[in-house]
Amino acid sequence: MWIFEQAGQGWVQLGELGLAFVLSALIGVEREIRHKSAGLRTYTLVGFSAALIMLVSKYGFMDVLVNNRIVLDPSRIAAQIVTGIGFIGGGLIFVRRTNVRGLTTAAIVWLTAAIGMACGAGLPILALAVTGGHFVVVVGFPYIASRLPRSRWTPSLLQICYQDGREVLREVLVRCTQHNFTVSRLQVEKESPANPQEGAGRTVTVALEVQGTGSVSKLAAKLADIDGMVSVNAGDVNEVTD
């Protein structure tokens, strides 16, 4: 056996680094395609570097170990990876009013670090299994979640923009009632003055918090058909997005 293999710098370790690189890049490609805040480069670097740190933890102190005199705990460095990656994940989470964005992205960064750690620790089967689990969660779970029964007490948010003076808001309230939704909160967010150059009147942007068992997306489509409506955006009040 070559001496650099004994020091933890052989083909086995290079293969573990390569596996971490490939698996992390696969997750990064999926995130890049979805245009998330962290993409291909971020995920690849996180998993790749986590694998290197694990290898350093396993083999980087062999020259200072002395039998019955110096004892090291390699798991301590692994624990520090888990703590340190939290700072990256925390920087990806954004809270705007009651909406949370980036939570799933932060969790996937944490998962990618774990995959890199598994590769560095010489556990390729576990790394492959978790990578497969990642794609099951991000591809399959949204399909399942969209078909789960909704509670009538779960609030949803509608943001509408309409031309003022055309009784649009009254029609919005009527259609919400017709589709078994109740309006629990209404707030005017912005009023834009008329623009004579474009021939447009004043527009008003209003946020509505609604509750009901129906489909909010279908309600939004019905509201978009109202004469004088400019735009309609729908989503859960407590929405957690990628």
CB of 89 within 8 A of CB of 109?
yes
Say how far apart CA 175 and CA 164 lie, in whole Å: 18
The predicted pLDDT at position 60 comes to 66
Q: Would you tell me how many other CB atoms lie within 10 Å of the CB of residue 2? A: 9
**What is the per-residue pLDDT across 122-165, written as a single tens digit (0 to 9) for each?**
888 988 988 988 888 888 877 776 676 666 667 788 888 998 88
Nearest to 149 by CA among 215, 104, 210, 98: 215
**What is the per-residue pLDDT across 106-116, written as a single tens digit (0 to 9) for each?**
888 888 888 98
The predicted pLDDT at position 96 comes to 57
Q: What is the pLDDT along the chain (242 residues), one digit of tens a residue?
A: 444 445 667 788 888 888 989 998 888 888 788 777 667 887 888 888 888 888 877 776 666 665 666 566 666 777 777 777 777 777 766 655 555 567 777 888 888 888 988 888 888 898 898 898 888 888 887 777 667 666 666 778 888 899 888 888 889 999 988 888 888 888 887 777 655 444 457 888 888 888 887 778 888 888 989 988 988 887 654 444 45
The predicted pLDDT at position 81 comes to 78
Amino acid at 94: F
The predicted pLDDT at position 197 comes to 47
The predicted pLDDT at position 239 comes to 44
The predicted pLDDT at position 220 comes to 86
Q: CATH number for the 155-241 domain, one of 3.40.630.40, 3.40.30.110, 3.30.70.260, 3.50.50.60?
A: 3.30.70.260
Which three-class secondary structure state does DSSP give residue 164? coil
Domain boundaries defined on the chain: 3-145, 155-241
Instruction: Copy the structure tokens of residue 219.
Output: 């309600």
Give pairs for 56-60: CB < 8 Å, separation 24+: 57/120, 58/8, 58/120, 58/121, 58/122, 59/7, 59/8, 59/9, 59/13, 60/8
Quickly list DSSP for 42-103.
HHHHHHHHHHHHHHHHHHTTTTT--TTT----THHHHHHHHHHHHHHHHHT-EEETTEEESH
pTM of the model: 0.57
Secondary structure element (H or E) that encloses residue 183, with its range: strand 181-192
CB of 42 within 8 A of CB of 106?
no
